[in-house]
Amino acid sequence: MSLISRVVDIPLFLHIESECIEKIGDILSQNNLLFKNVLLLSGDTTFKAAGRRVVDILTGLGKSVDVMRIPDSTIETAERVRASIKDSNYNVVIGVGGGKVIDVGKYASNLEGINFISIPTTVANDGICSPVSVISYKKEKRSIITKTPIGVIADLSIIKDAPIRMIRAGIGDLLSNISAVKDWELAREIKGDNFDEFACLLSSRAAESVLISDSNDILSLEFLNKLVGSLTLSGISMGIAGSSKPASGAEHKFSHALDVISKNPALHGEQTSLGLIIATYLRGDDWERFVSIFGHWGIPTKAKELNISKEEVVKALIFAPKTRPDRYTILEHIKINEKKAIEAAEKTGVI
Ligand SMILES: [Zn+2]
């Protein structure tokens, strides 16, 4: 019998530090990435914050760089990028920007079979290193399995300057892992779902390392380093699992439902923060712990802080099971209905 081994897809390189964008030339050559033709994706603001600098460094090294602006993460935009890769001879796609730029980059590069480098300018969610792209089809957002980026360059001096709301949302998305893992354990117990211990260990430990942090300053380099590292590990846990299950349970279904129902959806990580509090309550676990730490870090714990109405919260909780019908969570387990939704949202102070 031959030896059995398991291959885990992780990036070739990972740099999380201040000013590391300046070293992109060295990073590429150290990894023998000697490509010539680059497609760089960026948003308007993020191009000014970092994209232009990356273009300058790469062209200075003799590389040819085309820039495409990414206004959103709709399927139309993602397919436009894909068509552009198909029609050209790019060797690599580099995404310099927030979640939408990186989602579109992972989607298009994976389908066209070329490598993708992730240079996040914000950390509002755990997509910076995950093999999952969230793409919008009209109002519905779909999570599509793609490929883990070949490398991640997270320049903390740029991430620090992004709106603090983004960082708070990133914390909310990360801490959701604690709830998501509980849901997967429940699905294993009740539905016999295939469970991945290693993916869940990585995902929950990544979240807990930030949860137990006693930092009073979420903009400190020390805290940001921990947060970005943990979001990276969260992404890798999804790669190990081959699905978003270690980082997406009932709290994510609630967020997906709000995206459909709410007139003004908030940031993904802000919505999962509310979902995390409610899902933890429904499980009978210590939800007040999350309200307390979120309050400490200025993360919204009430729907009205996000301009989401009471009715939208209740409707979203009832609609949530339909957003991922194949994923069993605490919402299906307790057979969520209007009465239970109102009670949970009121008791936790979310509405
Ligand atoms: Zn998420």
User: Please, what is the average pLDDT of the chain?
Assistant: 95
pLDDT reported for residue 138:
85
Determine the average pLDDT of the residues in 72-91: 96
CA of 173 to the centre of ligand 1 (A): 5
Find the 121 Cα to ligand 1 centroid distance in Å.
Answer: 17
pLDDT at 305: 97
Predicted confidence at residue 215, as pLDDT, reads: 85
Token couple for 336: 């969520």
User: Cα of 15 to ligand 1 centre, how many Å?
Assistant: 22
**Residue 61 alpha carbon to ligand 1 centre in Å:** 36
Q: Report CA(179)–ligand 1 centroid distance (Å).
A: 12
Dist. CA 142 → ligand 1 center (Å): 12
Model pLDDT, residue 319: 97
- Ligand 1 centre to CA of 233 (Å) is 13
Q: Separation of 303 CA from ligand 1 center, angstroms?
A: 18
Q: How far does the centroid of ligand 1 lie from the alpha carbon of residue 62, in Å?
A: 38
Q: How far apart are CA 138 and CA 256, in angstroms?
A: 13
Q: What are the tens digits of pLDDT across the range 184-229?
A: 999 999 999 999 999 999 999 999 999 998 788 999 999 999 999 9
CATH annotation of 13-159: 3.40.50.1970
Torsion of CA 97, 102, 155, 215, to 10 degrees: 100
Residue 7: is its pLDDT beyond 90?
no
CA of 177 to the centre of ligand 1 (A): 8
Question: In sequence order, what E strands does the chain have?
Answer: 13-17, 37-42, 64-69, 92-97, 115-120, 132-137, 140-145, 151-155
Could you give the CA distance from residue 281 to residue 287 in angstroms, rounded to a whole number?
A: 5
**How far, in Å, is the centroid of ligand 1 from the Cα of 247?**
7
- Which residue in the block uniquely carries the two structure tokens 């949202």? 345
pLDDT at 1 over 80: no
Q: What does the block give as tokens for 259?
A: 């995206």
* pLDDT grade for 139, boundaries at 50, 70 and 90: confident
Q: Give the distance (Å) from ligand 1 centre to CA of residue 215.
A: 23
Contact at 8 Å (CB) between 227 and 171? yes
In this predicted model, what pLDDT tens digit does every residue of 13-57 receive, in sequence order? 999 999 999 999 999 999 999 889 999 999 999 999 999 999 999
165-347 and 13-159 share a CATH fold: no
Q: Mean pLDDT, to the nearest integer, of 60-71?
A: 97
The full set of domain ranges for the chain reads: 13-159, 165-347
Q: Is the distance from CB of 224 to CB of 157 less than 8 angstroms?
A: no
How many residues would you count in the chain?
351
Q: What is the CATH number of domain 165-347?
A: 1.20.1090.10
User: pTM of this prediction?
Assistant: 0.95
The predicted-structure confidence for 245-271, as pLDDT tens digits, reads as follows: 999 999 999 999 999 999 999 999 999
Least confident range from 148-157, 208-217, 282-291: namely 208-217
